């Protein structure tokens, strides 16, 4: 049956070609926003037309957001129902099932998996869903049921927190929508170590899967060495490097709960006697370690997004440079430093420049030996730079 959707239209100066070639967003200044369009409910569906009224596809609409429309389907008559969700999730699931022999991965990476604004991380029988766009909030029940049907998970947790939802005008909420909440952190095997994911109260979905291949690379450098993991969260690089044969790892983070989970992960991995934590501000701790004369074979710094937007770019780049400048003196001659950014506003060239300047300002020379990105369970939509946010640079100092 033909669906009867309202229509919205691009302004004459809007770039319809980019939309035709796969760019998935329409900004509010590119759309004719008459009273009818402004009265559309957040999360509703509409047919997007160019200024000559030629259809471009089916989009979700949120008049309260700077991203006023997101491309959902090129078929303007498709029914966005549970069968539609099942097809999208099955396509995403088949890719991850081929990559991983255990059910621990990012199942859906938003626009890159055809589900705009939706992030789903899987932890065995538990799935944590971040519906960061209004349309996913409106259709969450169908999404959750399709998720159970495709993957067989028994618990679905809605994690509606974070900056993205604020920009969409959505309220913050964390709740179990299907099944029961885990009574304890979930052990997650990765790269020979065990990580503890707090899926109800932890940061984001409870664990970061994106660094998995970069953890594995760092583990190769750590064998027989002493390592420092700054901004460690729940053990991040430190546990992977211990699994790779590091003699010891010191994890630094400002969050006591995160460090407690890291300690639990180290114990579960059999590394408890080689793992130590230090709670404190990362910059102050780096300065204190230098004053104490400490040096390590491998130093990793994986901070939160210092440049979450273009407005924050200059300040963010200065912060990345400062991290590199303070961390580099802690690296032994011939040792390694890994510097990471999850800021999509800071592209690879700008981030690399900031890190290289920081190393130079520390009076050292760094050979860039490896550039890493998010794992293949975080596919990149080439037309949307935001999906390729993660960069990891490793230097030999």
Contact 51, 10 (CB under 8 A): yes
Record the pTM: 0.95
The Cα 191–Cα 175 span in angstroms is 30
Residues in CB range of 59: below 8 A, 6 or more apart: 8, 26, 45, 46, 47, 48, 69, 70, 71, 72
pLDDT over 50 (residue 59): yes
Ramachandran category for residue 179: left, alpha or beta (phi over 0 → left; psi -120 to 50 → alpha): left
Q: Bridge partners of 237?
A: none
Amino acid 354: pLDDT: 98
Q: Average pLDDT, stretch 330-339?
A: 98
**Using one digit for the tens of pLDDT, what is the confidence trace for 249-281?**
999 999 999 999 999 999 999 999 999 999 999
Q: Does domain 82-178 have CATH number 3.30.70.580?
A: no
Catalytic residue from among 301, 340, 342, 355: 342
Phi/psi at 257 (5° precision): -60, -40
The answer to whether domain 7-73 and domain 82-178 are alike in fold is no
* Whether pLDDT at 153 is above 50: yes
CA distances from 358 to 33, 160, 252 (A): 46, 36, 20
Q: How confident is the model at residue 317 (pLDDT cuts 50, 70, 90)?
A: very high
Q: How confident is the model at residue 306 (pLDDT cuts 50, 70, 90)?
A: very high
CA dist list (Å): 359 to 162, 250, 323, 339: 32, 21, 9, 11
Query: Which residue ranges make up each domain of the chain?
Result: 7-73, 82-178, 189-396
Q: Which residues pair with 172 in a beta bridge?
A: none
Name the percent of the chain lying above pLDDT 90: 89
Q: How much is the pLDDT for 147? A: 98
pLDDT at position 1 is 44
Kindly report, residue by residue over 354-372, the tens digit of the pLDDT. Answer: 999 999 999 999 999 999 9
Residues 6+ apart with CB under 8 A from 192: 219, 240, 243, 244, 269
Identify the H or E element spanning 142. Answer: helix 140-151
pLDDT above 60 (res 390): yes
14, pLDDT greater than 50: yes
Query: Among the listed ranges 214-218, 295-299, 338-342, 386-390, which one has the minimum average pLDDT value?
Result: 386-390
Mean pLDDT of the chain: 95
Check whether domain 7-73 has CATH 3.40.50.2300, yes or no: no
Out of 60-74, 90-104, 160-174, 276-290, pick the least confident.
160-174
Task: Give 3's pLDDT tier (boundaries 50, 70, 90).
Answer: low
Q: Which CATH number fits domain 189-396: 3.40.50.150, 3.40.190.10, 3.20.20.70, 3.40.47.10?
A: 3.40.50.150
Measured CA to CA in angstroms, residue 172 lies from 14, 41, 161, 164, 175 at distances of 33, 19, 5, 10, 10
Q: Is 301 a catalytic residue?
A: no
**pLDDT > 60? residue 2:** no
Mean pLDDT of all residues in 70-91: 96
Dihedral angle at the C-alpha atoms of 33, 38, 39, 40, nearest 10 degrees?
A: 80
C-alpha 102, offset from chain centre: 20
* pLDDT-wise least confident of 66-70, 86-90, 171-175, 319-323: 171-175
On the CB side of 395, how many CA atoms lie within 13 Å of its CA? 24
Residues 6+ apart with CB under 8 A from 35: none
191-235 pLDDT per residue, tens: 999 999 999 987 778 899 999 999 999 999 999 999 999 999 999
């Amino acid at each position: 049956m033909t669906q009867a959707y309202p229509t919205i239209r691009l302004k004459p100066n809007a770039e319809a070609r980019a939309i035709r070639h796969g760019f998935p967003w329409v900004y509010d200044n590119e759309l004719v926003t008459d009273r009818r369009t402004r009265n559309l409910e957040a999360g509703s569906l509409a047919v997007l037309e160019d200024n000559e009224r030629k259809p471009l596809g089916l989009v979700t609409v949120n008049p309260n957001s700077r991203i006023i429309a997101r491309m959902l389907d090129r078929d303007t008559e498709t029914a966005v129902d549970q069968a539609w969700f099942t097809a999208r999730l099955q396509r995403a699931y088949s890719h991850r099932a081929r990559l991983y022999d255990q059910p621990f991965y990012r199942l859906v990476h938003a626009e890159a998996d055809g589900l705009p604004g939706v992030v789903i991380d899987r932890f065995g029988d538990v799935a944590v869903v971040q519906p960061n766009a209004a349309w996913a909030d409106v259709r969450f029940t169908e999404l959750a049921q399709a998720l159970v049907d495709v993957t067989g998970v028994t618990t679905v947790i809605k994690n509606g927190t974070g900056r993205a939802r604020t920009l969409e005008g959505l309220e913050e909420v964390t709740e179990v929508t299907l099944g029961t909440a885990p009574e304890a952190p979930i052990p997650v095997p990765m790269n020979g170590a065990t990580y503890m994911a707090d899926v109800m109260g932890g940061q984001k979905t409870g664990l970061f899967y994106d660094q998995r291949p970069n953890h594995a690379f760092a583990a190769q450098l750590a064998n027989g060495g002493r390592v420092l993991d700054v901004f460690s969260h729940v053990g991040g690089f430190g546990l992977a490097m211990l699994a790779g044969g590091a003699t010891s790892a010191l994890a630094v983070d400002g969050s006591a709960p995160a460090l407690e989970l890291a300690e639990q992960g180290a114990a579960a991995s059999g590394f408890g006697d080689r793992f130590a934590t230090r709670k404190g501000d990362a910059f102050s701790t780096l300065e204190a370690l230098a004053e104490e004369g400490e040096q390590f074979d491998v130093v990793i710094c994986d901070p939160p997004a210092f440049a979450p937007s273009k407005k924050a770019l200059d300040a963010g780049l200065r912060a990345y440079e400062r991290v590199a400048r303070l961390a580099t003196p802690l690296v032994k001659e011939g040792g390694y430093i890994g510097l990471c950014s999850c800021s999509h506003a800071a592209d690879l060239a700008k981030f690399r420049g900031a890190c290289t300047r920081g190393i130079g300002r520390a009076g050292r020379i760094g050979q860039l030996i490896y550039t890493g990105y998010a794992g293949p369970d975080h596919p990149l939509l080439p037309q949307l730079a935001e999906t390729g946010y993660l960069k990891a640079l490793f230097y030999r100092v």
